[in-house]
C-alpha cells in the first residue's frame, strides 16, 4: 500500500510539482483530484464515443417537447441532493433521484435519452464556482477536481447504462417499453441489475484512491469511510434503480400524466430525505464539536492555572473542532491568542500569510461595545461572498466583553450560523480559563501581601523591644554564624570543559535561609543544589547546615537518583529534628559529556532552561515532590532534560522573583527570563552579573526582605 501510494504521489507531482511544498491535507486532496481525473477521462471518452454511435438523432426532432419536459424534471430532482459524510464535513458521496428520470427515459426513448444526464453534468461543472482568493495551487487543484467530477459522472453513467440497454434489447425488450406486465418488465429488470453492477464496478477504484489519499487516517477511520461509502452507493444509487423501470411502465400503461404524478411523489420523497440528511449531518458535526469541547474542558479542569497555556491548547484542539473554518481569537486590548492557518500552504510561508483574511480593529471595537450575543459579518470575504461570524467572550463575574472569536468557513459547509453553538461554547470555555487565572493571581497577591505585612510586624517588634546590649550581642553571634554558614558554601567553582558556572548568594540578614552547593560525584558527574529554608535566623541556619550535610552524604549513595537522595534526606530530617521548619530543594545531577540533567524539584521555584534552538523559549523544570521536613511517605519522582550547546539553565530562590520595588511590585519571572534571554549569548558570569544588577536597579531604595540566590549553568556552543 505504501509503495502504491508513493508511485501515485509521484504521478501527481508530475502534473503539480509545486505540491511538494504544500500541507499534508492539500497533498491528499490533490492526489484524489488528479488521479480521479486520470481515471475518469478515458471512461468518459469511451462512453461518449459509444453514445454518439448508438444515438438515434431523429428521435430529438420527433420527441423534443417530451425531452424538454424530462430535462426540467431531471434538473428539479437533481436539486434535492442526498449526501453522506465519509471522513470529514467536506468529503461526501452525492446522489439524487434524477437518475430515475434518465433510466426511465432510456427505456422509453432509447440511448439518446442519456444526453439529458450528460447535459446536466456539463451544466453543473460549468456552474461550479472557483474561489478567486485562493492560492494558485488551490485553484489548480480545484480545476482538476471539476474535471474529475464531470468525467467520472459521464463515464459511470454511459458505461453502465449503454451495456444495460444492449442486454435489454438482447432479452427481447422493446423501446419504448410496451406495457406494465411481467413479460415486458422482466428484461428491463435484468438490464437494471447489470446497470447497477457495472455502476458499482466503475466507482470502486475511486474509493481505493480516496483511501490512499487519506492514508494518514487511522484504520478505524478508513473502515468507517469504507462502510459509509458503500452504504451511500447502495441507498442512493442501486436500490432506487428498479423504480426507473416502474416509471417507464407507468408511462406505457397510463400515459404522461401518470408518469408525471409518479415523479411528483418521488420529488416530495426526495425533498424529505434531503432535509433529513442535512439535519443528520448537522447533528453529526454537533456531536463531534461536543466531544472536542468536553475534552478541552477536562484538560482545563485537570491542569493548574499557572501551567495552563491557552494558546497552545487551542492550537492542538481547535483544528479538530472546526476543521474547515478560519478562526481568529483575541483578548482585549490586542492579544491574539489563536489564528488559523490558511488552506493549501504551510503557515510559515509568506504567501499563506498574505492570503489570510483580516478583520478591521473598528469591528472588534464595535463588538466590545455591544451586548449582542453575536455579530453577523455580511460578505466578510467580499470576492467569494461568504459571511463571517463574530462572537464575544464575556467575563465570568461582571459579564463585560474581554475578547472575541471571528469565524469564516472556507469550505462549502452550510450557513455560518450553524457554527454559532460551538463558537459560543468555546467562548465560554476561554472565559472560564481567564477567570481561573485571574483568581489564581489574586490569591498569590493576597498571600504576598500577608507575608509582607508579617515581615513588617516582626521588624517593628524587634525595633520596639530590643535592647541595645542584647542587639549588639545578637549581632555578634549572627556575624559569627554567618561566617560559619559562608564556609559551608563552595569556595571555588568547578572547571569543566565546555561548561560555565556562575553563582551568587546575597543574604537579607547576617544569616541566610538560602544555600547552594556544587558536589563533585563519581564518573565526572556534578551535583547541583539550590535550596531555601522557610525562615530566617539561627534556627533556619542550623536547619540549612543539617540539610546540606545530609544531601552531600546521600548524593554518593544514590547515583543518578536525585529523588532517592532527597527522599533519604527527608527521612533523616524528620527523624532527627522536631520543629515546624521545612526546606524547598532543587537537586540535579549533570553528566557533562552528554548534557543530560536528572533532577528532583521538592517544592522549589521551578528553574528554567532557555534553549537556543527553539526560539529561546523558557522550559520550566517543574515540581516533582513536596518540600523536605513535612511528610515522610511521599511519592518522590525525578525528571530528565538534555542541555544542548548554547542552552542556559537558571536556578534561583524566591528572593529573586519576589524582590520588590518601592511600589511593592515584584521583579517576577518574566523580567528574570527577559534579562537572561537578552544576554544568553554571553558568558555565565555576565548573565549572573546582569541579573543581579537588574534586580538591584528594579528594587531601588526599597529594603531587601529575602535572600537572593542565583546559579547560572551554561553549555558552550563548542560542545
In the DSSP assignment, the letter for residue 563 is: H
Q: Is residue 302 situated within a structural domain?
A: no
Per the DSSP assignment, residues forming a β-bridge with 189 are: none
Q: Is residue 81 situated within a structural domain?
A: yes
**Residue 711's pLDDT is what?**
95
What distance lies between CA 406 and its chain's CA centroid?
A: 17
In the sheet where 618-620 sits, what is the strand order? Answer: 499-506, 708-715, 648-652, 608-610, 618-620
Alpha-carbon distances of 436 from 26, 51, 298, 472, 606, rounded to whole Å: 38, 70, 14, 49, 21
* Judgement on whether residues 483 and 425 belong to the same structural domain of the protein: no
CATH number at residue 566: 3.60.40.10
* Judgement on whether residues 542 and 621 belong to the same structural domain of the protein: yes
Range of the domain at 333: 307-347+357-431
CATH number at residue 312: 3.30.450.40
* Judgement on whether residues 273 and 361 belong to the same structural domain of the protein: no
3-state secondary structure of 648: strand
Beta strands 514-520; 499-506: pairing state: unpaired
* pLDDT grade for 455, boundaries at 50, 70 and 90: confident
Q: Within 10 Å of residue 664's Cβ, how many Cβ atoms? A: 10
Q: What percent of the chain has pLDDT over 70?
A: 79
* pLDDT grade for 238, boundaries at 50, 70 and 90: confident
pLDDT, tens digit (0-9, with 9 covering 90-100), for 471-491: 455 545 445 445 555 566 787
Q: Is residue 77 situated within a structural domain?
A: yes
Count structural domains, the chain: 3
Per the DSSP assignment, residues forming a β-bridge with 91 are: 88
* The three three-digit cell numbers of residue 287, written as one number: 456531536
**How wide is the angle at C-alpha 277 spanned by C-alphas 276 and 278, nearest 5°?**
90
* Judgement on whether residues 23 and 146 belong to the same structural domain of the protein: yes
Residues 107-116, mean pLDDT to the nearest whole number:
88
**At residue 81, does pLDDT exceed 70?**
no
**At residue 383, does pLDDT exceed 60?**
no
**At residue 280, does pLDDT exceed 70?**
no
41-50, 127-136, 158-167, 236-245: lowest mean pLDDT where? Answer: 127-136
Beta strands 375-381; 386-394: pairing state: antiparallel
* The three three-digit cell numbers of residue 268, written as one number: 416530495
Q: Is residue 461 situated within a structural domain?
A: no
**At residue 75, does pLDDT exceed 70?**
yes
**Residue 116's pLDDT is what?**
85
Residues 136-140, mean pLDDT to the nearest whole number:
74
**At residue 556, does pLDDT exceed 60?**
yes
Residues 378-394, mean pLDDT to the nearest whole number:
69
97-106, 117-126, 468-477, 512-521: lowest mean pLDDT where? Answer: 468-477
**Residue 631's pLDDT is what?**
86
Q: Is residue 443 situated within a structural domain?
A: no
Q: Is residue 295 situated within a structural domain?
A: no
pLDDT, tens digit (0-9, with 9 covering 90-100), for 637-676: 999 999 999 999 999 998 899 888 888 899 999 999 999 9
* Judgement on whether residues 97 and 173 belong to the same structural domain of the protein: yes
* Judgement on whether residues 238 and 314 belong to the same structural domain of the protein: no
* Judgement on whether residues 312 and 198 belong to the same structural domain of the protein: no
**Residue 321's pLDDT is what?**
74
* Judgement on whether residues 285 and 312 belong to the same structural domain of the protein: no
* Judgement on whether residues 335 and 195 belong to the same structural domain of the protein: no
Q: What percent of the chain has pLDDT over 90?
A: 18
User: Domain ends where: 381, 412, 431?
Assistant: 431
Residues 448-470, mean pLDDT to the nearest whole number:
69
264-268, 369-373, 396-400, 456-460: lowest mean pLDDT where? Answer: 396-400
Per the DSSP assignment, residues forming a β-bridge with 641 are: 597
477 versus 177: the higher-pLDDT residue is 177
Q: How many helices and strands in the chain, by DSSP H and E?
A: 21, 17
**Residue 86's pLDDT is what?**
41
Q: Is residue 300 situated within a structural domain?
A: no
Q: Within 10 Å of residue 278's Cβ, how many Cβ atoms? A: 15
Rounded distance between C-alpha atoms, residue 584 and residue 529, angstroms: 11
Q: Within 10 Å of residue 473's Cβ, how many Cβ atoms? A: 11
Q: What is the mean pLDDT of the chain?
A: 79
Secondary structure element (H or E) that encloses residue 376, with its range: strand 375-381
85-122 b/e with 16+ CB inside 10 Å = b?
Answer: bbbbbebbbebbbbbbbbbbbbbbbbbbbbbbbbebbe
Q: Is residue 440 situated within a structural domain?
A: no
Identify whether the C-beta of residue 115 lies closer than 8 Å to the C-beta of residue 8: no
> Which of left, alpha, beta for 498 (phi over 0: left; psi -120 to 50: alpha)?
left
In the DSSP assignment, the letter for residue 557 is: T
**Residue 47's pLDDT is what?**
92
* pLDDT grade for 132, boundaries at 50, 70 and 90: very low
**Residue 647's pLDDT is what?**
92
**Residue 542's pLDDT is what?**
76
* Judgement on whether residues 549 and 500 belong to the same structural domain of the protein: yes
**Residue 624's pLDDT is what?**
92
Which of the given ranges, 104-108, 549-553, 603-607, has the highest pLDDT on average?
Answer: 603-607
* pLDDT grade for 345, boundaries at 50, 70 and 90: very low
* pLDDT grade for 85, boundaries at 50, 70 and 90: very low
* Judgement on whether residues 257 and 284 belong to the same structural domain of the protein: yes
* Judgement on whether residues 316 and 362 belong to the same structural domain of the protein: yes
Identify whether the C-beta of residue 677 lies closer than 8 Å to the C-beta of residue 608: no
To 10 degrees, what angle do helices 24-54 and 2-15 make?
80
User: Of 120, 40, 84, whose CA–CA distance to 236 is shortest?
Assistant: 84
Rounded distance between C-alpha atoms, residue 539 and residue 573, angstroms: 14
Give 64-133 as a DSSP string: HHHHHHHHHHHHHHHHS-EEEEEEETTEEEEE-THHHHHHHHHHHH-GGGHHHHHHHHHHHHHHS---TT
81-95, 221-235, 342-356, 508-522: lowest mean pLDDT where? Answer: 342-356
208-224 b/e with 16+ CB inside 10 Å = b?
Answer: ebbbbbbeebeeeebee
**At residue 73, does pLDDT exceed 70?**
yes
Alpha-carbon distances of 261 from 149, 256, 264, 266, rounded to whole Å: 31, 9, 5, 9
To 10 degrees, what angle do helices 420-465 and 310-321 make?
170
Amino acid at each position: 500500500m505504501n509503495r502504491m501510494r508513493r508511485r501515485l504521489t509521484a504521478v501527481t507531482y508530475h502534473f503539480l510539482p509545486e505540491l511538494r511544498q504544500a500541507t499534508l491535507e492539500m497533498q491528499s486532496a490533490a492526489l484524489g483530484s488528479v488521479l480521479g481525473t486520470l481515471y475518469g477521462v478515458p471512461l468518459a471518452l469511451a462512453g461518449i464515443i459509444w453514445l454518439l454511435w448508438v444515438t438515434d438523432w431523429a428521435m430529438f426532432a420527433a420527441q423534443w417537447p417530451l425531452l424538454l419536459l424530462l430535462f426540467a424534471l431531471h434538473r428539479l430532482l437533481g436539486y434535492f441532493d442526498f449526501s453522506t459524510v465519509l471522513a470529514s464535513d467536506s468529503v461526501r458521496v452525492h446522489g439524487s433521484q434524477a437518475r430515475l428520470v434518465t433510466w426511465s427515459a432510456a427505456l422509453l426513448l432509447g440511448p439518446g435519452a442519456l444526453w439529458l444526464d450528460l447535459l446536466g453534468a456539463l451544466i453543473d461543472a460549468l456552474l461550479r464556482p472557483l474561489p478567486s482568493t485562493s492560492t494558485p495551487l488551490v485553484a489548480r487543484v480545484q480545476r482538476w477536481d471539476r474535471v474529475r467530477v464531470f468525467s467520472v459522472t459521464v463515464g459511470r453513467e454511459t458505461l453502465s447504462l449503454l451495456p444495460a440497454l444492449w442486454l435489454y434489447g438482447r432479452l427481447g425488450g422493446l423501446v419504448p417499453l410496451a406495457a406494465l406486465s411481467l413479460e415486458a418488465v422482466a428484461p428491463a429488470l435484468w438490464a437494471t441489475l447489470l446497470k447497477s453492477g457495472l455502476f458499482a464496478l466503475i466507482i470502486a477504484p475511486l474509493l481505493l484512491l480516496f483511501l490512499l489519499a487519506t492514508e494518514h487516517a487511522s484504520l478505524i477511520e478508513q473502515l468507517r469511510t469504507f462502510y459509509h461509502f458503500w452504504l451511500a452507493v447502495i441507498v442512493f444509487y442501486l436500490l432506487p434503480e428498479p423504480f426507473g423501470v416502474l416509471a417507464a411502465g407507468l408511462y406505457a400503461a397510463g400515459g404522461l400524466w401518470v408518469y408525471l404524478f409518479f415523479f411528483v411523489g418521488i420529488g416530495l420523497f426526495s425533498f424529505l430525505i434531503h432535509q433529513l440528511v442535512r439535519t443528520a449531518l448537522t447533528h453529526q458535526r454537533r456531536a463531534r464539536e461536543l466531544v472536542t469541547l468536553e475534552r478541552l474542558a477536562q484538560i482545563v479542569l485537570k491542569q493548574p492555572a499557572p501551567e495552563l497555556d491557552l494558546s497552545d491548547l487551542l492550537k492542538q484542539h481547535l483544528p479538530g473542532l472546526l476543521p474547515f473554518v478560519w478562526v481568529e481569537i483575541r483578548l482585549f486590548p490586542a492579544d491574539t491568542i489563536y489564528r488559523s492557518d490558511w488552506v493549501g500552504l504551510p503557515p510559515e510561508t509568506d504567501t499563506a500569510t498574505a492570503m489570510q483574511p483580516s478583520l478591521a480593529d473598528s469591528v472588534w471595537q464595535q463588538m466590545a461595545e455591544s451586548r449582542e450575543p453575536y455579530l453577523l459579518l455580511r460578505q466578510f470575504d467580499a470576492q467569494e461572498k461568504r459571511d463571517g461570524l463574530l462572537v464575544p467572550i464575556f467575563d465570568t463575574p461582571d459579564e463585560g466583553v474581554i475578547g472575541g472569536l471571528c469565524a469564516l468557513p472556507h469550505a462549502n459547509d452550510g450557513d455560518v450560523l450553524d457554527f454559532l453553538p460551538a463558537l459560543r461554547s468555546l467562548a465560554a470555555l476561554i472565559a472560564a480559563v481567564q477567570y481561573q487565572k485571574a483568581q489564581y493571581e489574586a490569591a498569590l497577591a493576597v498571600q504576598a501581601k500577608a507575608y509582607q505585612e508579617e515581615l513588617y510586624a516582626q521588624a517593628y517588634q524587634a525595633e520596639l523591644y530590643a535592647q541595645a546590649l542584647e542587639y549588639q550581642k545578637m549581632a555578634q553571634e549572627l556575624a559569627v554564624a554567618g561566617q560559619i554558614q559562608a564556609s559551608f558554601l563552595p569556595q571555588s567553582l568547578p572547571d569543566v570543559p565546555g561548561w560555565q558556572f556562575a553563582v551568587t548568594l546575597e543574604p537579607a540578614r547576617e544569616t541566610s535561609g538560602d544555600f547552594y552547593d556544587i558536589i563533585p560525584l563519581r564518573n565526572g558527574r556534578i551535583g547541583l543544589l539550590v535550596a531555601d529554608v522557610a525562615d530566617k535566623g539561627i534556627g533556619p541556619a542550623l536547619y540549612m547546615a543539617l540539610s546540606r550535610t545530609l544531601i552531600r552524604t546521600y548524593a554518593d549513595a544514590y547515583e543518578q537518583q536525585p529523588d532517592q537522595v532527597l527522599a533519604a534526606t527527608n527521612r533523616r530530617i524528620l527523624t532527627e529534628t522536631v520543629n515546624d521548619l521545612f526546606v524547598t530543594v532543587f537537586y540535579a545531577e549533570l553528566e557533562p559529556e552528554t548534557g543530560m540533567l536528572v533532577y528532583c524539584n521538592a517544592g522549589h521555584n521551578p528553574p528554567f532552561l532557555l534553549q537556543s534552538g527553539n526560539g529561546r523559549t523558557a522550559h520550566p523544570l517543574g515540581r516533582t515532590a513536596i518540600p523536605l521536613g513535612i511528610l515522610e511517605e511521599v511519592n518522590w519522582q525525578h525528571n530528565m532534560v538534555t542541555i544542548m550547546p548554547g542552552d542556559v539553565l537558571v536556578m534561583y530562590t524566591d528572593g529573586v522573583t519576589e524582590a520588590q520595588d518601592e511600589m511593592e511590585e515584584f521583579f517576577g519571572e518574566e523580567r528574570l527570563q527577559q534579562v537572561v534571554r537578552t544576554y544568553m549569548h554571553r558568558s555565565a558570569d555576565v548573565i549572573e552579573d546582569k541579573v543581579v544588577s537588574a534586580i538591584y536597579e528594579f528594587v531601588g531604595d526599597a529594603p531587601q526582605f529575602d535572600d537572593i540566590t542565583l546559579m547560572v549553568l551554561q553549555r558552550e556552543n563548542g560542545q
